[in-house]
């Protein structure tokens, strides 16, 4: 039977485990919240990965790792044309820009980071295509999945814990009375702190700063634990009255009703 | 006949069913099942899987229903359904079981996100010797000073009444603020 389904029922970690145990060859395609990911495997080992618009090419990976600068990256993209990544790699090694080890380590790191990012995808669909083999024009690695799976499970536990602590990102934050003056915050923590205001939901803060849901939760959890902020309902959001709440929409009648309830409960 | 409802929520075995039973004029309609997990069985033998349901008739024209939510996380799909149209909610926490405080905090935040209705927190089993102090519970649940945290013994009607009354007073205050 085709390996396909919903990420709500099957986590990325479980999928990697299955591919690893069955020594599968092919490509796992994940349709996430806003991007699509392609993970190619050979004999149960990760060979290649790309997510969204990034093509996972050697030039891109080396550029991201600061092994080649922006001009060199552009020049390669313009002139390398039909050259495969293997040919490009040989060219760069022979020209003394990188070593073979540099290339392999950076590709492994890039692919591992991409897979790590996928662990936070809990919504979306997946399918495994046996016929789509790891791309021949790219340099394929052979990454054992065990360590990635262990890390993924750890992240999943962390995510569950954070979701328990902060169930909804649609709540806002406000400062407590504790001063922020003697607190050492990281750059990302400052990004969040800068927007702490009952008018901003945590989801909006994350979106403004380009932070994923788990990153926002992780930062907010730290701030909550330190007693620097507390969660509050977003201010200024006009909630439509729930007609089911009261049998009448007349404010005075509603008040009378509550007073009747108070009277009754006092007599119990 | 007009009906209104309040929701009693909280972690597994916090005393929600008992709370409702203490003030309901009917035997609580409880959908309880025998507990399957060993860990949970050591705490109590049956648990609510869908909801508890109690009733207080106010007069010929008005009835208050009390709904108790299932405490176990795997039944949390029921929470949002039960919270629809509630006047307010009560979060119950067992003062002698600090291991449930984190879950109580999570449930509280979940319900706060569902609807902007008033709520109070009831610290159950305050008559037991190893119950946590109210102030310590307040810190553990990260409640601000404006949130009502009330001592409660779910088997004693007077304390249950006081929790319900405090919630109703909060609802009145909120209505006045809206004006």
Question: Is B144 in the A-facing interface, judged by CB distances under 8 Å?
Answer: yes
Is B115 touching A (CB cutoff 8 A)? yes
DSSP letters along A48-76, please? EEEETT----HHHHHHHTTSS-HHHHHHH
Q: Do B56 and A224 touch (CB under 8 A)?
A: no
Q: CA A21 to CA A14: how far, in whole Å?
A: 11
Q: Which of A170, A246, A263 has the CB atom closest to B4's CB atom?
A: A246
Backbone angles phi, psi at A38, to 5 degrees: -120, 120
Is the pLDDT confidence value at A238 over 60? no
Q: Tell me, what's the pLDDT at A257?
A: 94
User: Higher pLDDT residue, B18 or A182?
Assistant: B18
- Residue, of B44 and A148, whose pLDDT is higher: A148
Indicate the length of chain B as a whole number: 179
Inter-chain CB proximity B172 and A255 less than 8 Å:
yes
Decide if B128 touches A, using CB distance below 8 A. Answer: no
CA distance B143 to A105: 48
For residue B123, what pLDDT is reported?
A: 97
Query: What is the average pLDDT across A227-243?
Result: 76
Alpha carbon of A193: minimum distance to chain B alpha carbons (Å): 19
Please tell me which residue, A104 or B35, carries the higher pLDDT value. Answer: A104
Among A32-36, B54-58, B103-107, name the one with the lowest average pLDDT. Answer: A32-36
Given this model, what pLDDT does residue B45 score? 61
Query: Which of A87-91, A251-255, B163-167 has maximum average pLDDT?
Result: B163-167
H or E element at residue A100 = helix A100-118
Spatial distance between the Cα atoms of A47 and A133, rounded to a whole number of angstroms: 10
Tell me if A216 sits within 8 A of A229, measured CB to CB: no
Structural domains of chain A, ranges and CATH numbers in brackets: 4-155 (no CATH), 172-232 (1.10.10)
Q: Which residues of B touch A241 (CB under 8 A)?
A: none
Cβ contacts from A onto B, under 8 A: 90
| Spatial separation of the C-alpha atoms in residues B88 and B90, rounded to whole Å | 7
Is the Cβ–Cβ distance between A213 and A206 less than 8 Å? yes
pLDDT at B32: 61
The answer to whether A19 and A28 are in contact (CB under 8 A) is yes
Mean pLDDT of chain A: 88
- In sequence order, what are the beta bridge partners of B53? B67
What are B105-162's pLDDT values in tens digits? 989 998 988 888 999 999 999 999 999 999 999 989 989 888 999 999 999 999 999 9
The answer to whether the Cβ–Cβ distance between B110 and A245 falls below 8 Å is: no
Name the percent of chain A lying above pLDDT 70.
96
Higher per-residue pLDDT: A36 or A55: A36
State how far the Cα of A14 lies from the Cα of A6, in Å rounded to an integer.
12
Report the distance separating Cα A205 and Cα A193, nearest Å.
9
Segment A202-219 mean pLDDT: 91
Parallel, antiparallel or unpaired: strands B32-34 and B46-48? antiparallel
pLDDT-derived band at B75, boundaries 50, 70, 90? low
The Cα of A242 is separated from the nearest Cα of chain B by a number of Å equal to 6
Q: CB B165 to CB A254 under 8 A?
A: no
Q: Which pLDDT score is estimated for A239? A: 59
Closest CA to B32 of B68, B85, B80, B76: B68
Q: Can you tell me whether residue A9 is helix, strand or coil?
A: coil
Q: How far apart are CA B21 and CA B90, in angstroms?
A: 15
Chosen for mutation from B84, B86, B105 (greatest number of chain A CBs closer than 10 Å) is B105
Q: Which residues pair with B121 in a beta bridge?
A: B91, B149
Nearest to A255 among B2, B3, B175 (CB): B175
Q: What is the mean pLDDT of residues A194-203?
A: 93
Given CB atoms, is A225 within the 8 Å cutoff of chain B?
no
Write down all domains in chain B, each with its CATH number in brackets: 2-178 (3.40.50.300)
Dump pLDDT digits (tens) for A63-80. Answer: 988 888 888 888 887 776
Using the Cα atoms of residue A156, residue A160, residue A161 and residue A167 in order, give the sign of their dihedral: positive
In this predicted model, what pLDDT tens digit does every residue of A244-259 receive, in sequence order?
788 888 889 999 999 9
Please give the average per-residue pLDDT across A80-89, as a whole number.
83
Q: Which ipTM was obtained for this model?
A: 0.87
Task: Give the integer Cα–Cα distance in Å for A72 and A65.
Answer: 13
Contact A257 B2 (CB under 8 A): yes
Q: Confidence band (pLDDT; 50, 70, 90) for B33?
A: low
Are the CB atoms for A13 and A156 separated by under 8 Å? yes
CA A165 from chain centre, in angstroms, equals 18
**A208 and B CB contact within 8 Å:** no
Phi, psi of B78 (to 5 degrees): -75, -25
Residue B72: predicted pLDDT: 63
């Amino acid at each position: 039977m085709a390996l396909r389904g919903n990420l709500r029922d099957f986590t990325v970690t479980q999928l990697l485990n299955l591919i690893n145990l069955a020594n599968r060859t092919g490509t796992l395609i994940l349709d996430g919240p806003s991007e699509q990911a392609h993970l190619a495997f050979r004999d149960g080992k990760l060979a290649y990965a790309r997510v969204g618009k990034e093509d996972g090419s050697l030039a891109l990976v080396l550029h991201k790792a600061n092994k080649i600068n922006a001009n060199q990256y552009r020049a390669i993209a313009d002139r390398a044309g039909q050259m495969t990544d293997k040919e490009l790699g040989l060219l760069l090694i022979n020209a003394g820009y990188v070593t073979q080890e540099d290339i392999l380590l950076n590709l492994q790191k890039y692919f591992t980071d991409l897979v790590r990012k996928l662990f936070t995808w809990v919504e979306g669909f997946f399918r495994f295509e046996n016929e789509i083999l790891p791309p021949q024009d790219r340099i394929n690695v052979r990454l054992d999945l065990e360590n990635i799976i262990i890390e993924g499970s750890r992240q999943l536990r962390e995510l569950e814990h954070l979701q328990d602590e902060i169930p909804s990102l649609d709540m806002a934050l406000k400062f407590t009375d504790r001063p922020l003056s003697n607190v050492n915050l990281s750059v990302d923590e400052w990004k969040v702190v800068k927007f702490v205001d009952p008018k901003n939901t945590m989801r909006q803060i994350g979106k403004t700063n380009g932070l994923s849901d788990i990153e926002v939760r992780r930062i907010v959890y730290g701030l909550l634990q330190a007693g620097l902020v507390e969660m509050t309902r977003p201010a200024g959001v006009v909630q439509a009255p729930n007609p089911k709440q009261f049998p009448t929409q007349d404010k005075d009648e509603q008040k009378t009703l509550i007073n009747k309830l108070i009277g009754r409960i006092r007599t119990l | 006949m007009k009906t209104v409802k309040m929701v009693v929520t909280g972690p597994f075995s916090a005393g929600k069913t008992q709370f409702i039973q203490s003030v309901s004029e009917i035997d609580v309609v409880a959908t309880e099942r025998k507990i399957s997990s060993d860990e949970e069985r050591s705490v109590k033998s049956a648990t609510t899987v869908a909801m508890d349901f109690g009733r207080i008739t106010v007069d010929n024209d008005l009835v208050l229903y009390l709904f108790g939510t299932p405490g176990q996380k795997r039944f949390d799909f029921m929470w949002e359904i039960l919270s629809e149209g509630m006047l307010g909610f009560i979060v119950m926490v067992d003062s002698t079981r600090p291991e449930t405080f984190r879950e109580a905090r999570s449930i509280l935040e979940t319900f706060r996100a569902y609807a902007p209705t008033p709520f109070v927190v009831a610290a159950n089993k305050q008559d037991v010797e190893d119950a946590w102090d109210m102030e310590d519970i307040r810190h553990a649940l990260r409640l601000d000073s404006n949130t009502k945290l009330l001592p409660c013994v779910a088997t004693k009607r007077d304390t249950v009444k006081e929790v319900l009354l405090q919630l109703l007073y909060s609802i009145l205050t909120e209505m006045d603020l809206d004006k």
